[in-house]
Chain A
Amino acid sequence: MKRLLNAIWTVLSSRTLPPLVCGVFLLTYIGIAFGTDDTLIALMAFTRTSSVLVVLLALIPLNSLCRMLLETYRHHKRRRAVNCKEVETPYGLFDESVTVPALPTFAELEERLNSEGYRCRRTERTLAAWRGISLFPARMIFLAAVFCLFAGILISLTTRSSRRMNVIEGEPLPTAKGGGGLVERISLMKSSGAILDKDLIVEVAQSDAGDGRKIFGLYPPSLYRGYFVYPRYLWIASVIRFSAPDIQPAYEKQSALNIHPPGKEDRLEIPGSPYQIFISLVKPDDGSDPYMTGRITFLFKILKGKNLLFTGSVPTGGEFVQDGYRLAIPDSRRMVKTDFIQDYGVLLIWTAAILFICSGCVWLPVAVFLPRREMVFVREHDVINAFSRTEGRRRIHAGVFHEALDLLEARQSTNP
């Protein structure tokens, strides 16, 4: 059992695991690419449904946790060795180890290492020397970032739920269980920010179900009953009333029209009749956006089959009447096609982005200017076990270490 657990631990904490898992996903991606062009979307969908791929993906955050534990343990042991507190000889914790015949005292060696800029700590049995700052904190932040990133992707892939709804001015906010607060106002305005061109504000009143008053913007997305409110597209919800000599009674319905910005055309088919109406927004002469100003005038084309009957324009509240045909638009409201998304992986992915930046900011100056260099000399009977490790400036540190060993052996030969 212990051997099995050891084997599992070895696999889970192995540095080869993440590239292997990524390799499997890469191969899957390539395989899917032969079958479809929307490869990334297909891979995401496939991963969502395949428990094997989910488990495989879960191995990466698990591996990050295991690496954090393992590296913390090794760091702690090494620190104890450098602090001369470790009772056991620190085999396997350093890059290089060598055994040399020993001198009875470390005094001269300590002086020599001090002159090289190393700080030293000496006990009767041990001499430790070090300089620079450890990259351990940067490494931990990096591993935490990897954990957050892949855990976020995993959570996002497996638990994300999304519903696209119409949020219309003057109507309740659509929610899964109903009873959402009334959408009091939707306003679109020019933004003064550097990133967003427009600000969209959706004001929702307090609901009877106990939800407080809410104001939703574009970014960062706000939560409503556990769902992120993610505005996608600007539409117009208009009541269209149409009658023709051969249509009685008149057709009347509120229609969601995908006609913003001006120039975009939507088609409305009158059910059970050969009529279809093409509608678009009139672009105001002053160049303003009708969605912002609320002054909405429609361009229309009425077709019977393939024959064009009329074209013209009609403002909200107005009507067009000719030859027994009547088209009226008594009411138009702003509408936002909105995705209600439940996905807590997003938070982890953003956290990962911040952690990656922090890790890089710590790693770069430390690795360049103050890399950690350590050496430990432990006396055991008539020999000294010497250990060395460095996180940068390898050649210079190796030179100092080798000279320290030369010194130890030279004194040994001059003091038989």
Chain B
Amino acid sequence: MVALKLIPHLLAWVGIVLVLLRGFPRSRSVITAVGVAGFALGVAGASILLRSYPGEISFGIIRGVVAGVFLLLWGVAVATIYRSTAREFQIFSGEKLVNAPGYAGSVAFLTSLIAGAVCVCRLPVIDGATLEFILLVLASVALSYALAYGAKAVEKFLPSAVTVSQPALIVAVVALLLFSSSSLIRLDIFSPLSMKVMKFAHDFVHQFFESMLIPDHLFIRTYLWGYIGLLFGKEVGFWGGLIIWFTPVVLILLAIRFEIMPSVAHIRQGAQRRKVLAAAIRERRYRLVIPLLALLIFAAAAYRSSFPSVEYWDPKPLPVLANEAGEIFIPRKGEIDLEDGKLHKYLFKQGGKEARFFVLLTPAGQLTVDLDACAICKPDGYGQAEGTVYCYYCKTLIPLETVGKPGGCNPVPIPFTVKEDGVHIDGMTMINIWNTTVQATTGTKGGGK
């Protein structure tokens, strides 16, 4: 079963090796050897990291590296489009770097290192068994060796006309790395990116209104505020995320498609001129093949990120009431055991208003009471998966260790007191925080499921 789950990661790495072999035709042996070493080292390094720092830190580091690679792609894409806009325009040609002896090897090593690290995140963490660790590394060496030489054999069958320019090589390699990481929900960067875009749109609208001295929603027509409210929706995060996701590859495609044709003004035969131009156009079309494939891989990665195959614990909210003093009481033990480590949802209604919240025992052994909503998304609520809670709206995973802390897509914490008998919460505080949160995230009163 685990071996099956590894298939997308291994295929992605084979793709990377293929692209590198085609991109650096004079360094085939170096790429194969260094790629195998990089992959094995990535497996070993990530395995040690996951053993030493179990939990979110290790995944955060690897995800950060993947995000850094994506950022690098953005830089390359912008430079490429700028470079292509004028004949005399040169930023940094990079030709010296590309032709340097160690360049091909370094690229192969680094990308394989990351691919190996991503791959090992799919496997269960090995706890302290040195023999298992050694076996894992040896297996990774053997497997990567076989796959690299397989890729080398396949590459020979590819049409020689399909060439890979440097920007196309980078975009293809990054696309494959992102595809690999997107199949692991904790390494995926598309969903966090969408969430950040949604938060940015929210902050930007707020700051824009304040900076431009535009009246607040209180004074604006409901229909118009409804349209503005669209900017706070997850669709903005999703589509904004897609734009950021696809823009680098589209920029590189545009740079290739609209690059200025070679000057033929010095050729005095019309037929000869047309021949030169036709050859340039044909060659340009072939150079579009790899970035177009990368575009498809980017789309596949975004799809995998948007539709992860994970199941969640999502209990139905139980109705609760406040006593005369306006206090909600939830017993520690009873029909429900608050300390069983599961998420327990409640629905509090008072005077026509309602608030949904949950109680959870964190891994640190502390009870936490939080709204079933965050300060950013519409209040679709949370489900619980292994080691995390999951925002249904923006699909962000929140490690259990951080539940109870405010900020971002974390559930909004509610002040409460824990006594021997159970949890005590002020009803009005609950309603007020819910209303403030829901108003801020939806631009309306109430809402949610």
Nearest-neighbor residue (CB-CB) of B217 within chain A: A197
Q: A residues 181-210 with Cβ under 8 Å of B?
A: 194-198, 200
A248 near B: Cβ within 8 Å? no
A401 near B: Cβ within 8 Å? yes
Find B221's partner among A98, A196, A228 (CB 8 Å cutoff). A196
Known A-B contacts A40-B204, A195-B224, A349-B212; the reply to A409 vs B218 at CB < 8 A is no
A308 near B: Cβ within 8 Å? yes
Chain A residues lying within 8 Å of B224, measured Cβ to Cβ, are 194-195
B67-97 to A contact mask, C-beta < 8 Å, 1/0: 0000100010010001000011101000000
Find A40's partner among B203, B220, B270, B432 (CB 8 Å cutoff). B203
Q: Closest Cβ of chain A: how far from B381's Cβ, in Å?
A: 19
The complex places the Cα of A265 from the Cα of B270 at a distance, in Å, of 83
Cβ–Cβ contact A39 & B219, under 8 A: no
Nearest-neighbor residue (CB-CB) of B426 within chain A: A306
Q: Closest Cβ of chain B: how far from A399's Cβ, in Å?
A: 9
B299-340 to A contact mask, C-beta < 8 Å, 1/0: 000000000000000000000000011110000000000000
Cβ–Cβ contact A231 & B215, under 8 A: yes
Nearest-neighbor residue (CB-CB) of B202 within chain A: A40
Find A409's partner among B71, B78, B264, B268 (CB 8 Å cutoff). B268
Known A-B contacts A265-B428, A402-B270; the reply to A198 vs B219 at CB < 8 A is yes
Cβ–Cβ contact B325 & A98, under 8 A: no
A73-111 to B contact mask, C-beta < 8 Å, 1/0: 000000000000000000010011110100000000000
Cβ–Cβ contact A197 & B221, under 8 A: yes
Nearest-neighbor residue (CB-CB) of B325 within chain A: A306
Cβ–Cβ contact B221 & A233, under 8 A: no
A388 near B: Cβ within 8 Å? yes
The complex places the Cα of A154 from the Cα of B216 at a distance, in Å, of 24
Nearest-neighbor residue (CB-CB) of A95 within chain B: B87
Find B270's partner among A23, A230, A307, A403 (CB 8 Å cutoff). A403
Cβ–Cβ contact B199 & A37, under 8 A: yes
Cβ–Cβ contact A41 & B207, under 8 A: yes
Chain A residues lying within 8 Å of B220, measured Cβ to Cβ, are 195-197
B196 near A: Cβ within 8 Å? yes
The complex places the Cα of A195 from the Cα of B220 at a distance, in Å, of 6
Nearest-neighbor residue (CB-CB) of A410 within chain B: B268
Nearest-neighbor residue (CB-CB) of A305 within chain B: B325
Nearest-neighbor residue (CB-CB) of B68 within chain A: A30
Find B213's partner among A196, A228, A234, A307 (CB 8 Å cutoff). A228
Known A-B contacts A219-B214, A228-B213; the reply to A96 vs B263 at CB < 8 A is yes
B408 near A: Cβ within 8 Å? yes
Cβ–Cβ contact B212 & A346, under 8 A: yes
Chain B residues lying within 8 Å of A30, measured Cβ to Cβ, are 71
Q: Closest Cβ of chain B: how far from A154's Cβ, in Å?
A: 13
Cβ–Cβ contact A37 & B408, under 8 A: yes
Q: Closest Cβ of chain A: how far from B87's Cβ, in Å?
A: 6
Cβ–Cβ contact A33 & B196, under 8 A: yes
Most B CB atoms within 10 A — which of A15, A27, A401?
A15
Q: Closest Cβ of chain A: how far from B255's Cβ, in Å?
A: 14
B273 near A: Cβ within 8 Å? yes
Nearest-neighbor residue (CB-CB) of A353 within chain B: B212
Chain B residues lying within 8 Å of A156, measured Cβ to Cβ, are 211
Known A-B contacts A16-B91, A195-B221; the reply to A40 vs B200 at CB < 8 A is yes
Chain B residues lying within 8 Å of A328, measured Cβ to Cβ, are none
Chain A residues lying within 8 Å of B26, measured Cβ to Cβ, are none
The complex places the Cα of A219 from the Cα of B218 at a distance, in Å, of 13
- Interface residues on chain A, size class: 35 or more
Nearest-neighbor residue (CB-CB) of B212 within chain A: A346
B58-73 to A contact mask, C-beta < 8 Å, 1/0: 0000000000000100
Known A-B contacts A308-B325, A402-B265; the reply to A38 vs B203 at CB < 8 A is yes
A9 near B: Cβ within 8 Å? no
Q: Closest Cβ of chain B: how far from A322's Cβ, in Å?
A: 18
Main secondary structure of the interface of A (DSSP, over half): mixed
Chain A residues lying within 8 Å of B428, measured Cβ to Cβ, are 265, 278
Chain B residues lying within 8 Å of A306, measured Cβ to Cβ, are 325-327
Known A-B contacts A23-B78, A218-B215, A346-B213; the reply to A41 vs B203 at CB < 8 A is yes
The complex places the Cα of A11 from the Cα of B448 at a distance, in Å, of 53
Nearest-neighbor residue (CB-CB) of A19 within chain B: B78
Chain B residues lying within 8 Å of A409, measured Cβ to Cβ, are 268
Cβ–Cβ contact A194 & B221, under 8 A: yes
A211 near B: Cβ within 8 Å? no
B218-244 to A contact mask, C-beta < 8 Å, 1/0: 111110100000000000000000000
Q: Closest Cβ of chain B: how far from A255's Cβ, in Å?
A: 18
Nearest-neighbor residue (CB-CB) of B327 within chain A: A306
Find A233's partner among B203, B216, B432 (CB 8 Å cutoff). B216
A179 near B: Cβ within 8 Å? no
Chain A residues lying within 8 Å of B207, measured Cβ to Cβ, are 40-41, 44
B387 near A: Cβ within 8 Å? no
A167 near B: Cβ within 8 Å? no
Find B324's partner among A15, A96, A308, A398 (CB 8 Å cutoff). A308
Known A-B contacts A23-B78, A197-B219; the reply to A406 vs B325 at CB < 8 A is no
Nearest-neighbor residue (CB-CB) of B407 within chain A: A37
Q: A residues 129-172 with Cβ under 8 Å of B?
A: 156
Chain B residues lying within 8 Å of A398, measured Cβ to Cβ, are 261
B419 near A: Cβ within 8 Å? no
Q: A residues 227-245 with Cβ under 8 Å of B?
A: 228, 230-234
Chain B residues lying within 8 Å of A369, measured Cβ to Cβ, are none
Find A197's partner among B203, B222, B263, B270 (CB 8 Å cutoff). B222
Cβ–Cβ contact A196 & B219, under 8 A: yes
A370 near B: Cβ within 8 Å? no
B266 near A: Cβ within 8 Å? yes
A405 near B: Cβ within 8 Å? yes
Cβ–Cβ contact B213 & A39, under 8 A: no
A415 near B: Cβ within 8 Å? no
Cβ–Cβ contact A388 & B213, under 8 A: no
A350 near B: Cβ within 8 Å? yes
Cβ–Cβ contact A307 & B212, under 8 A: no
A279 near B: Cβ within 8 Å? no
Chain B residues lying within 8 Å of A6, measured Cβ to Cβ, are none
Chain A residues lying within 8 Å of B263, measured Cβ to Cβ, are 96, 98
Q: A residues 209-230 with Cβ under 8 Å of B?
A: 218-221, 228, 230
Chain B residues lying within 8 Å of A53, measured Cβ to Cβ, are none
B249-280 to A contact mask, C-beta < 8 Å, 1/0: 00000000000110111101010010000000
The complex places the Cα of A386 from the Cα of B266 at a distance, in Å, of 10
Chain B residues lying within 8 Å of A38, measured Cβ to Cβ, are 203
Chain B residues lying within 8 Å of A349, measured Cβ to Cβ, are 211-212
Cβ–Cβ contact B325 & A23, under 8 A: no
A36 near B: Cβ within 8 Å? yes
The complex places the Cα of A15 from the Cα of B85 at a distance, in Å, of 11
The complex places the Cα of A408 from the Cα of B82 at a distance, in Å, of 35
The complex places the Cα of A194 from the Cα of B264 at a distance, in Å, of 58
Chain A residues lying within 8 Å of B218, measured Cβ to Cβ, are 198, 233-234
The complex places the Cα of A230 from the Cα of B210 at a distance, in Å, of 9
- Interchain Cβ contacts under 8 Å between A and B, 21 examples: A23-B75, A37-B376, A40-B200, A92-B88, A96-B87, A97-B265, A195-B220, A196-B220, A196-B221, A197-B221, A198-B219, A219-B214, A231-B215, A233-B216, A234-B218, A306-B325, A306-B326, A346-B213, A350-B212, A402-B273, A405-B268
Q: Which 10 A-B pairs have the closest CB atoms?
A: A98-B265, A40-B203, A37-B408, A306-B325, A37-B407, A197-B221, A221-B213, A230-B213, A218-B215, A198-B219
Q: Could you list 12 further interchain pairs (A-B, Cβ under 8 angstroms) beyond the known A40-B203, A401-B265? A: A15-B82, A38-B203, A39-B196, A39-B200, A40-B200, A40-B207, A41-B203, A95-B87, A97-B265, A218-B219, A219-B215, A398-B261
